[in-house]
Amino acid sequence: LKLKFRIWTRESLMDQIDFALYAGPKVLNYFAEKFDYPFPLPKQDMLAVPDFGPGAMENWGLVTYRETALLYKSPKLGGVARCFSVIDKLRVARIIAHELAHQWFGNLVTMLWWDSVWLNEGFADFIGFLGTQHILQEWPNVLEQQFIFEQIQMAMAKDQEPQSPPIHRSSTQTDLFTYFDYITYKKGASIIRMLEYVMKNDFWVGLKIYFKTMAEMNAREEDLWAAFDKAVMESESPSVGWDSNKFNVSLFMDSWVNAAGFPVVAVNRVNGSHVQLSQSRFIVNLTEDNATNVPTNVSQQWYIPLWYRTCTNKGITSLLWLQPNSTVILAIEDDCWVMFNSEVRSFARLHYDDATWQRLLSGWSSDILSIERSQLISDAFNLALIGSVNYSRALELVQRLPDEVDAVPWKSAFIGLNYLHDMLFTHPGGHLFFEYVQKILNSAYKTDLWNNIEVDDFKLSVFSGKIVEEACGWNVTSCRDVAVEKFKEFMEDCQLSDDGSSSCSKVPALARRRVYCTGIEQKHTTDFERLWHLCNHESIAIEKENLLYGLSCCDDSDLLLRLLNASLQLDKPCIRRQDVGTLFKFLGNNPVARKIMWQHMKSRWSDYIKKKLKQPLKTMTMEAVRTFNTAAELEELNQFVNEIDGYDNKQLFNNAVKMVEINVHWRNSYAESVIDFVQQALLRP
């Protein structure tokens, strides 16, 4: 690749550009070869901006980034480089790959209008993951695990809401920011990944046709489908669809792109040797309170490709198609397990009946991949969320976690467990649930995990960091004792520093947020003041975020109000304009802070509007009310919504109200059954 490639940053951070200078040209060349279309400009600059709201922006030839999105230094080099972890390396590689994928998807070919923005963002997310794997070849299979959790499961969590929009939006929307959401990015990427699995080589041939045909033009979905269809028609071994004929891309993609939601596939034994598959739309509880908001396409159906394995062909993945308004009957031996949605290739949840589920559990540890276990855990929690299965199914999987050595199943489990914790926090039996999770973590936590956090083995480092994070966060005594001791050492090491903590902290990078948080939870005001001082003098952006996270764990109302007021004043380096939304996300993890944030938001709403902090205000709103789950709290929210004026985005309030309605319904419907289960589990050794 013959072009000028440069990185720009503050002079004091020039020692952190080497990785970007390696990753950028490497992935740009990879894309040029993959698409058979060279990068057409004579130069590519990438610029790290100290205060940059968007995170990154794919300007053609001059990509701009937040410093946390572009700068990285190997921790092996010591000193300030110890701020960086394997997660930071992965994040920087991913964002660089995403933005440089935009040089083709977005810049070379641009969508005709904003309603098709997923052609930019969904493809940049999917192609960006492939580019990241090319950059980080020393970590094989890591990106596949990350994709399942960060793309598919996060997209499903949004897409299962009744008000979820389709990928292709209405062209009449006036608030263009609403297009840039998980549906556009993460669901878009997930559907593209599924399409690539179906089309195989035809997919890549189709993209080459697309770029050659549409270069320096504006495109709609139909232009891409035409390129894919042309690739299939001209292929010597064309991809095959549900009817055994050549794959019809436009018909397949129509429901996935133009309709909201996604399917759940029901798997039921019809006799000892067969299972029957059927589909329906997966939607989170539609209660009587919000029945008027039932989506119009509740009966939506899809063409679903389902890859599967059985106990008799463990290493062979077969494909079947589930067509709209039809069922499939498949022969499976009576005592044999069957794993549908192998490698989580399809954007669908699976609902196994009890008999099929019990057979599947027999191969849980030996035959089911970690990404599949992760998705099955996610499916179980979400099926319980809508009442399709009992919570015992999900919680019994949680009890298998102490034997789990991959981080991804743990991450999926704690998405579900944290929601239950939030819903049960004020419940009279909430302490029993807390003790139940502590018991699980006590079985998994080992002190020597701290030694593995800084290793260069991605899976081991992230797994160790995840267990430490959760064990300390859920007050496992042996973990918190270590964290408190490390915080004391940190305060001693940094007591004389006037340059922030990056030059003096010896805490492992992946554990810094939890250690700083645990230290601040010890309620010493002088520690808060010291962390505040370090945060305001820190020059490394990722370390500043670590310190801000620690500050957010305070439970002193006056100190929390100081943080919230600083988000309006914007006169302290610790909280720049770009950091306001991040602060609100951090405070959302703190039950004391959520209450104060709610009152602060109501009294200072107009001030945030005047400061042009509309996007962070959305974050604060959702974080402040996301654990509301009583009729009184719902009434309080509705009263605020009815009183507020001068704000033009009613969709935010609709989303907040619907979220709380679902929470109220959950507490009324499921709280007692969860408490009963954990109470019995605690009685067992």
Catalytically annotated residues: 99
> Torsion angle of alpha carbons 332, 333, 334, 335, nearest 10°?
-110
Neighbour-count burial of 358, counting CB atoms closer than 10 A to its CB (0-12 exposed, 13-18 middle, 19+ buried): exposed
Take residue 151 and report the two structure tokens written for it.
Answer: 């793309």
> Torsion angle of alpha carbons 573, 579, 582, 584, nearest 10°?
80
Has 665 been labeled as part of a binding site? no
Please give the radius of gyration of the chain, using alpha carbons only, rounded to the nearest integer: 25
Q: Which helix (H) or strand (E) holds 46?
A: strand 43-49
Diameter of the chain by CA atoms? 73
Neighbour tally for 578: CB within 10 Å: 19
Q: Are strands 328-331 and 274-281 parallel, antiparallel or unpaired?
A: antiparallel
Q: Are strands 43-49 and 62-66 parallel, antiparallel or unpaired?
A: parallel
CA–CA gap between residue 303 and residue 279 (Å, rounded): 10
CA–CA gap between residue 210 and residue 427 (Å, rounded): 56
Q: DSSP characters for 34-84?
A: HHT----SSEEEEEEESS-TTSEE--TTEEEEEHHHH----GGG-GGGGG-
Strand order in the sheet with 318-322: 318-322, 304-310, 338-340
For residues 286 and 162, is the Cβ–Cβ distance under 8 A?
Answer: yes
Indicate the SS3 state at residue 122. helix
Q: Determine the residue type at 460.
A: L
Tokens 């309030």 map to which residue?
A: 653
> Among candidates 409, 267, 242, 412, which has minimal Cα distance to 338?
267
For residues 153 and 373, is the Cβ–Cβ distance under 8 A?
Answer: no
Neighbour tally for 2: CB within 10 Å: 6
> Among candidates 447, 462, 454, which has minimal Cα distance to 508?
454
CA–CA gap between residue 536 and residue 544 (Å, rounded): 8
Has 98 been labeled as part of a binding site? yes
- Burial string for 267-293 (b: 16+ CB within 10 Å, else e) reads bbbeeeeebebbbebbbbbbbebbeee
Angle at which helices 525-537 and 477-493 cross, to 10°: 60
Has 435 been labeled as part of a binding site? no
List binding-site positions for Zn(2+): 98, 102, 121
List binding-site positions: 98, 102, 121
